[in-house]
Amino acid sequence: MSKKLEGKVALVTGSGRGIGRAIALKFASEGAHVVVNDLDEAPAAEVVGEIKKMGGDARAVVGSVTAPDFGERFVKEAMDAWGNLHIIVNNAGYTWDSVIQKMTDEQWDAMLDVHLKAPFRILRAAAEPIRILSKEEAGKGQNVVRKVVNISSIAGTGGNPGQTNYSSAKAGITGMTKTLAKEWGRYKVTVNCVAYGYIQTRLTQPLGGEQATIDVEGHTVNVGVQAASLAMMDRMIPLGRGGTPEDAAGAVYMFCIPESDYVSGQVIVCGGGYGSVM
């Protein structure tokens, strides 16, 4: 049976762990070559190794997506390795919460940098290769549809207390999605957005779990959610549970297969029925 992403080249930020890892492995299982990214070398190398074990091909670009040169390096890796790029998933991110009166400029800037400026830089870096590839394909009469999937959150579609910074950035990425869908339609690129609800990752583990903090570029950031809040979420989600990273990856995958080639500029909520966009 043919694989839906056979021969496609996919770039996935934050793919050494959690949702990004699940996306990278899903893409690879469907035949895509994958450029993996993580802040740290070990998890990125581990995912590359997993993909190669399943018979796929992958490369790693290690480092922060907020680095000024990251977008150029990320795109260059795909072009150098395979001479093409078909799918870009802007997934990397984390939360750094506080109520607004206690939120620092540093917290605000960090969220805007990772969730909004980094995707902007990556897509800007990809614009010229995509333009050239699209023109060449049109000249040969080839119909190649490329895919961009940006990651938002129900915090961005409906707000969330303690997350003025994160919610603002995630709302911003939906605006970027809708604008780029209009700009890049001429290149046969669909641009869509997945807004996640409660997905079970290290960032949403119960407080007091195995990992209470994460280190991000010199910052120690608390992670985890009150157990009572998680239990309440489970009750409020119509499907009765939080999503898995594999559930989250499936929503992204839907936007990357040929069946969605005429869907662009859309935001879907992957939340088990909770937090649907009105």
Whether 196 is catalytic: no
Span 157-171, pLDDT tens digits? 999 999 999 999 999
The candidate with the shortest Cα–Cα distance to 173, out of 67, 80, 88, 90, is 90
**Listed residue (276, 164, 162) closest to 229, CA to CA:** 162
The length of the chain is 278
Q: What is the pTM assigned to this prediction?
A: 0.92
Question: In the structure encoding, which two tokens stand for residue 186, read together?
Answer: 């001429």
Task: List all residues 6 or more positions away from 215 whose beta carbon is below 8 Å from its beta carbon.
Answer: 221
H or E element at residue 151: strand 146-153
Asked if residue 152 lies in contact with residue 196, where contact means CB atoms within 8 angstroms, the answer is yes
- Continuous segment of H or E residues that includes residue 257: none
Residue with token string 């603002």: 168
Low-confidence stretches of the chain (pLDDT beneath 50): 278
Q: 87-109 pLDDT, tens per residue?
A: 999 999 999 999 999 999 999 99
- Provide the 3-class DSSP secondary structure of residue 232: helix
Catalytic-labelled residue, pool 166, 187, 198, 253? 166
Question: Count of CB atoms within 10 A of residue 214's CB?
Answer: 17
Could you tell me the domains of the chain? 9-196+245-270 (3.40.50.720)
- In this prediction, residue 234 carries a pLDDT of 76
What pLDDT is attached to residue 221? 63
